[in-house]
Amino acid sequence: MSNKQQSVTAVSLGVGFATGLYGISFGALSVAAGLDLWQTMALSLLMFSGGSQFAFIGVIATGAGVVPAILSAWLLGVRNGFYAIRMNPVLSVRTLLKPVAAQLTIDESNAVSLLGEPDKRKERFGFWLTGVAVFIFWNVFTFVGAVVGSQIGNPTDWGLDAAAAAAFLGLIWPRLNQSKLLVLAVASAFVATSLSVVLPAGIPVLLTAVLAVVFWLVGMRGDPK
């Protein structure tokens, strides 16, 4: 195993563990929102997308009902579709494996894979290892959170919300040495944070996709390759 491959392994397992820890928070909050243990586990196993899961239980907790909960989860899941479009040609898996790859296509697996660019082998390795690691840790810790949640108190007391922010930052960090991506990241964070005050959960994040497209179009004009 080469040095670079080892570092992909370390990042994948680190990301899996760190994201998994946040699963404790999800399990605890889900039970607090009124879901039972098995409904909570069904979300982590079947939906398997942190943002959508938190949105779902968040809306249920407010008492707004199941239809807004379904819609928020669905909207927040769109970005996985973008990731899937990127992963498809990288993985080039057989048709039978595509449903499995699809389930593992989330923020973390896509981001670690992106770090491997342009080495296709590293991209694939990062995707699968991170996807499987996050899946295992996320579900085990969801279970732990749902079972012991009421005893550990509020997840924010443990700083788990800050851990999630730090994890997302770590996923894009290696890309921020390119000034164009740094500017895009700062602009996206600013726009989404500002809009989150006035728009429903999920929409502000998606709107930053428009920013990405603008940067893409400007880049094509300035850089005629």
CA distance 20 to 137: 4
CB of 147 to other proteins, least distance (A): 18
Tokens of 12: 């994948």
Cα atoms in the 13 Å half-sphere on the side-chain side of 217 = 6
**Nearest residue (CB) to other proteins, 147 versus 212:** 212
Distance CA 212, CA 209 (A): 5
Angle, CA of 42, 43 and 48, to the nearest 5°? 115
* In the complex, minimum distance from the CB of residue 2 to other proteins, in angstroms, rounded to a whole number: 18
Cβ distance 13 to 137 under 8 Å? no
Give the C-alpha separation, 215 to 191, whole Å.
14
Do 136 and 35 touch, CB atoms closer than 8 A? no
Query: Which among 97, 164, 86 is positioned nearest to 132, based on CA atoms?
Result: 97
Beta carbon nearer to other proteins, 86 or 132:
86
Give me the least distance between CB of 199 and other proteins, in Å please. 11
Nearer to other proteins, 147 or 196 (CB): 196
Nearer to other proteins, 136 or 169 (CB): 169
**Residue 42 or 148 having the CB closest to other proteins:** 42
Tell the smallest beta-carbon distance from residue 94 to other proteins (Å): 11
* Least distance in angstroms from the C-beta of 220 to other proteins: 7
Number of Cβ atoms within 10 Å of the Cβ of 132: 15
Shortest distance (Å) from residue 212 CB to other proteins: 4
Distances in Å between the Cα of 169 and the Cα atoms of 16, 37, 60, 75, 162 are 15, 31, 28, 22, 11
